Amino acid sequence: MKATPDQDPGTDRGLKEGLLAAFRRLLRPLARILIRHGIAYGEFAEVAKTVFVEAAAEDFALPGRKSSGSRIAILTGLTRKEVKRLLDQAKQGKTMTRANPSRAGRVLAGWHSDPRFTGPYGLPLELPFDSETDPSFSELVRRYSGDMPARAMLEELVRVQAVEMTPDERIKPLGRVYIPFELDKESVERLGQTLADLGETLSFNLDPSRGGTAKFERRVYQADPMSGEKVERFHLVVADKGQALLEYLDDWLDSHTEETSESPKYRAGVGIYFFSSTLNEPEE
């Protein structure tokens, strides 16, 4: 059967829509984390494009052949020029660029680098909110944040303690980096590893050509509405029984040590997490 222009050969449209809907739900809490810690969409999009190129090049290469830029462009939908740029960045070890920082980040960076808004020794000036003759905060925002209202920008920078108001009603910068909430390095690494491990398991299980049995992945939950009190009691049970299971598995790993020269070597483990949400939250 010949495909019509509305059909997508090899992939059912309903399946694609379902996958995109699933990933929209997945990205909602991740977007919340990124926004909370000052990561703008442009920065995330750059990382997402890089990962698409890496996956296409490494996981979908034809047997015995190196993936070409043209093939990667076909698989990812990116232009060959964009693919080349990302591959060149990867070769140079620049895969984690901070392109397109947030508006607040651009304002603070400009404040510390633009001669118009810096004084002796390159230190940022304390600025009035508005002025017809002197450098002002409103001018700074117009120059580095486009159409963002200066008052809204000031409120956000005050909220995250990036600026403060002086007694003479001038705006003083307290730092040059926009970080809405502090997050320690260990928590960031744990976040990345946890999401990667779960994602690898789901990717493996959903791969029709995987070979072998699916990796263990189960959930238990009550479909009927629950009271807040029952949720809290259930959380305590999960914490107690889950901790006991993890300790048992950890003891098993410790008691089954081995020396191996096998290649490749593997890492393996299991994670347990509790989830809950209010039923009046919008479903994607």
Residue pLDDT, tens place only, 6-50: 444 445 788 889 989 999 988 999 998 888 888 889 889 999 999
Band of residue 101 on the pLDDT scale cut at 50, 70, 90 = low
The C-alpha atoms of residue 199 and residue 211 are separated, in whole angstroms, by 18
Q: Are strands 163-165 and 170-173 parallel, antiparallel or unpaired?
A: antiparallel
User: Would you place residue 4 in the very low, low, confident or very high pLDDT band (cuts 50, 70, 90)?
Assistant: very low
Per-residue pLDDT at 269: 93
Position of tokens 């000031």? 154
Q: Where residue 77 falls among pLDDT bands split at 50, 70, 90?
A: very high
d(CA 55, CA 67): 11
User: Cis peptide leading into 264, omega within 30 of 0?
Assistant: yes
CA dihedral 99, 103, 104, 110 (to 10 degrees): 70
Task: Write down the pLDDT at residue 210.
Answer: 87
DSSP assignment, residue 120? G
- Token match 């009271």: residue? 227
Joined together, the tokens standing for residue 221 give 């939950």
Q: Distance (Å, rounded) from C-alpha 129 to C-alpha 152?
A: 12
d(CA 140, CA 277): 41
The predicted-structure confidence for 252-272, as pLDDT tens digits, reads as follows 988 888 887 888 888 899 999
